[in-house]
Amino acid sequence: MSKTPAYILGASGFAAGELLRLLHGHPEIEPSRVVSASSPGKPIGELHPHLAAAYPDLLTTSIEECLAGQPPGERVAIFSALPHGFSAATVDDLVSSLNGTDMYVVDMSADFRFEDQFTFEKIYGLPHPAPGRIPDYVCSIPEHSDHTDPRFVAHPGCFTTSVIIPVVPLIKTGHIKHVMVSSVTGSTGSGRDPKPTTHHPVRANNLYSYKPLAHRHTREMEILSGRAGGGQLSVSFVPHSGPFARGIHSTIFARNDNNISTGDLLELLNSYYDSSPFIFVTNSPPRLKDVVGTNNCHISAQADDTTIVLFSVIDNLVKGASGGAIQWMNRMLGIPEETGLKHPGLGWL
């Protein structure tokens, strides 16, 4: 049986590089057209040197060539790793050009994460590029969706993913209504181009918060956790820039109004995610290095008479972006969602 050909949009970014790394050797999906507006016609190894041996003959292409060309197969997988505010229009054009093809889309930008264009425009300060497509999209992590056959998926943000995984079981059981979140993220979360606050000389051997109580993922956390948990949650969120390249470590605080014990919290999390192949509950606080390079999320919990503390670690590029996107695409194509994603952690960096 032939593999499903995949379009990857936004070839030069870290998320696209991770898609290519993870899809190398995938038994069911194969990168076919890797689209770059800034670097068409370039070998993959020129954009991502660590992938040169994996893709010696694959060249990037322009979106214009894709729109003008014939589909690479009767069924097509589309991954968008384009920036917020730009992805939707490009995906819209590509979907329109492929009309009649059996296609599936996972967009990793924020363009389709909200149910109306006005929420997006308020949070991101940009006009929505394709508001007519919004109703077509489902936004969720795979573990929280009851949609069995979506064709268009908006993948949640990396911070959001790290937070909603541990909090949703507690919302469902009525244990929390408000959380305070402190998250530390690696530099790859800021994109490929260095900025004054993300450049290596500033970030190395350093730790600092940014956008405290004003980060744009906050509303996303509230909406998606409330939807999956069947209740309302308010979030106070403070992100931090960490002195490492990849990963997110989130610590989440809530009042222990129901006096739940640590043991009962761990049992609740284990029960909720018992059938989830990528979520692991640890008895002690999880460590970031144990998940880097994988699609896994490690979570844990601690409680005393007044406070609940939840812990969560993910790789922002994998579970928080490209790995989660492949997990979704696997499901949409009707294959086991862990296909091509059971990579062990790197352990030592």
Query: What is the residue-wise DSSP string for 38-81?
Result: SSTT-BHHHH-GGGTTT-SS-BEE-HHHHHHSPPSSSEEEEEE-
Q: Is 66 assigned a catalytic role? A: no
Q: What are 199's two structure tokens?
A: 């450049």
Instruction: Classify residue 304 as left (phi > 0), alpha (psi -120 to 50) or beta.
Output: beta
E-assigned strand segments in the chain: 4-9, 29-35, 60-61, 75-80, 102-107, 138-139, 152-154, 178-185, 208-209, 234-241, 248-255, 279-281, 297-303, 307-314
User: Pick the catalytic residue: 66, 139, 158, 297?
Assistant: 158
- Helical spans, DSSP H, in 99-238: 117-124, 158-172, 200-203, 217-229
Q: Annotated active-site positions, please?
A: 158
